[in-house]
Amino acid sequence: MGGGLAGMSAALSLLEKGFDVTLVERRPFLGGRVFSFQDPETGLEVDNGQHVFLGCCSYYIRYLKLIGSYVNTHIQEGMNIEVVSESKKGALRSRPFWGRLHLLPAFIRYPHLSFTEKLLAAYCLLKIRFTNRSKQLSLDNESAYDWFRKNMQSERIIKNLWNVIILPALNDGVRNVSADMALMVLQDGILGTPAASSVGYSKVGLTTLNGDPAGALIEANGGKMRLGVGVRNFNMCNDLVKSVVLSDGTTIQADTYISALPHRVLSKLISVVPNMEEIVSNLETLEESPIIGIHLWYDRQIMDEDFLAFIDSPIQFVFNKNSNQDTTGSSNQYICISLSGAWEYIDVPKDDLIERFTREMTRLFPRAMEAVVVRALVVKERSATIRCIPGHYKLRPGQVTPVPNLFLAGDWTDTGWPATMEGAVRSGILAADQVISIT
């Protein structure tokens, strides 16, 4: 139930083991929160939001390879994020020779910190490297901000360095996220191998990358799909799910059920199911964080880099969709501004956002001053991900539930990962493994 990355990977995993699988998805297409749509004006495939992954997202990469889509992505050889402030441009660039400390030289050269700040940041990098998260469970109860402050990081180091990585990775600012999740991202992302820190992104629209090929493979492997019908409720019998009723009135009966539904949808469906009270109450307590994508088409080229991060600007990241999607020959330019943890803007009317951010683009990109925006589009995702705030982790249920034939998947389940594409794929495979283990 649920045809996002979690549901699709659970289905593919079970089909691989010879199970008879039916995938039910409320929308007429697969992909869930990773999708694209055709812009009626330009006819182009526009993503619901810029999605990136890191080289350490091994399950997501394996899933892309399985569905034949990895060729449609670009991944760097080691992290290279150019970071721009009012007057300076620096880069967080891996140097493979330095092994797991491959970003240390970048820290030393980083122009957005003073000499003393660089020393303190390098000290903190070592502290992160040698922190054993599994032995410090209290890390989930404190904010990353408090942890950084305790470890001699000034407001400026936090803003100009740590938040540049943590805000997009956790879809929330350093002040809000738990120290545990922030350290997880930094340990696995930037303190793993140089390859693990590489930034990857799609060269095609997200539905072409994810939902369409996964659906084709599910069908090719004998899976059935019910698209455009939602799960309306569960029929229970002797504490087991007997069948699920769909929005078109039909029912589906199975031996085992995996819910890969959004957590809020699931909590309503199971609110009347016996023994699920604790899970329901936890799911209702999880909070969500928004992402906004502002898509602008200019009548000429305004940027050359693949993407840029900004400090001292409301713009966090700008992606050059021409270079991302290999259409660099084009005379005009399509860019996407990505705003994570976007509470400040989520209720601002779209036209105001376009006006405000188009003006800011002219401040940051000199060539944008002369350029004309020929098309602009805003996509708001109010519930983009759950928030990784302190204490959130204990609210995330595992794959096994008190109902013996109902298992859970979704980026919000307990996967050890924040709510990401990697977490979603992992959750689907973990849920499928549970099904396999009981049959």
- Residue (94 or 385) nearer to ligand FAD, CB: 385
* Smaller CB separation from ligand FAD, 213 or 230: 230
Query: 238: which residues sit within 8 A by CB, 6+ positions away?
Result: none
**Token pair recorded at residue 362:** 């002219």
Segment interacting with ligand FAD, rule: CB under 6 A, options 30-38, 124-132, 155-163, 300-308: 30-38
User: Is 197:106 a contact under the CB 8 Å cutoff?
Assistant: no
Question: What tokens were used for 411?
Answer: 């980026």
Q: Which of 164, 186, 218, 260 binds ligand FAD (CB under 6 A)?
A: 260
Q: Does 387 help bind ligand FAD (rule: CB under 6 A)?
A: no
Could you say which DSSP state residue 66 is in? H
Query: What SS3 state is found at 337?
Result: strand
Per CB under 6 A, the list member of 421, 429, 430, 431 interacting with ligand FAD is 421
- Give yes or no for residue 424 binding ligand FAD (CB under 6 A): yes
Number of residues in the chain: 439
Q: Which stretch binds ligand FAD (CB under 6 A): 98-106, 356-364, 378-386, 395-403?
A: 378-386
Residue among 385, 399, 401, 434 that touches ligand FAD (CB under 6 A)? 385
- Contact stretch for ligand FAD (CB under 6 A) within 103-111, 349-357, 414-422, 430-438: 414-422
Distance, in Å, from the CA atom of 343 to the CA atom of 176, rounded to the nearest integer, reads 12
CA distance 163 to 173: 6
- In the block, tokens 């199971």 appear at 270
Choose the binding region for ligand FAD from 37-45, 91-99, 121-129, 413-421 (rule: CB under 6 A). Answer: 413-421
The minimum distance between CB 113 and ligand FAD, in angstroms, equals: 26
Give the nearest distance from C-beta 334 to ligand FAD in angstroms: 17
Distance (Å, whole) CA 13 – CA 438 = 15
> Please, which residue, 209 or 371, has the CB nearer to ligand FAD?
209
Least Å distance between CB 214 and ligand FAD? 11
Q: What residues contact residue 244 under an 8 Å CB cut-off, 6+ apart?
A: 1, 24, 231, 232, 233, 234, 235, 251, 252, 257
Residues of this chain, 207-236, that bind ligand FAD according to CB under 6 A: 230-231
Tell me how far, at minimum, the Cβ of 44 lies from ligand FAD, in Å.
Answer: 17
Cα–Cα distance between 203 and 287 in angstroms, integer?
32
CB distance 211 to 11 below 8 Å: no
Helix (H) / strand (E) element for 307: namely: strand 307-310
CB 16 within 8 A of CB 218: no
Q: Which is nearer to ligand FAD, 61 or 424 (CB)?
A: 424
The answer to whether 410 contacts ligand FAD (rule: CB under 6 A) is yes
2 binds ligand FAD (CB under 6 A): yes
CA atoms within 13 A on the CB side of 421: 28
Q: Binding of ligand FAD at residue 306 (CB under 6 A)?
A: no
* 261 is an interface residue for ligand FAD by CB under 6 A: yes
Comparison of 117 and 172: residue with beta carbon closer to ligand FAD: 172
Which residue's CB is nearer to ligand FAD, number 117 or number 306? 306
- What kind and span of H or E run contains 318? strand 317-320
Residue 3 is a binding residue for ligand FAD (CB under 6 A): yes
Give me the helices (H) in 263-307, please: 263-269, 277-285
What does the per-residue mask of binding to ligand FAD show for 32-71, with x meaning CB under 6 A? xxx-------------xx-xxx------------------
Dist CA 38 CA 134 (whole Å): 45
Q: Which is nearer to ligand FAD, 227 or 373 (CB)?
A: 227
The answer to whether 166 touches 174, Cβ cutoff 8 Å, is yes
Write down the least CB distance from residue 409 to ligand FAD, Å: 7
Min CB(77)–ligand FAD separation in Å: 20
Nearer to ligand FAD, 247 or 275 (CB): 247
Helices (H), 68-211: 104-109, 115-129, 144-150, 155-157, 163-170, 179-185, 206
Contact indicator for 288, 28 with CB cutoff of 8 Å: no
**33 vs 384: CA distance, rounded Å:** 7
**Only segment of 18-26, 150-158, 184-192, 355-363 that touches ligand FAD (CB under 6 A):** 18-26
Binding range to ligand FAD, per CB under 6 A, among 69-77, 88-96, 260-268, 349-357: 260-268
Rounded CA-CA distance 75/197 in Å is: 10
Interface with ligand FAD by CB under 6 A: which residues?
1-7, 24-27, 32-34, 48-49, 51-53, 230-231, 260-262, 265, 291, 293, 381, 384-385, 410-411, 419-422, 424
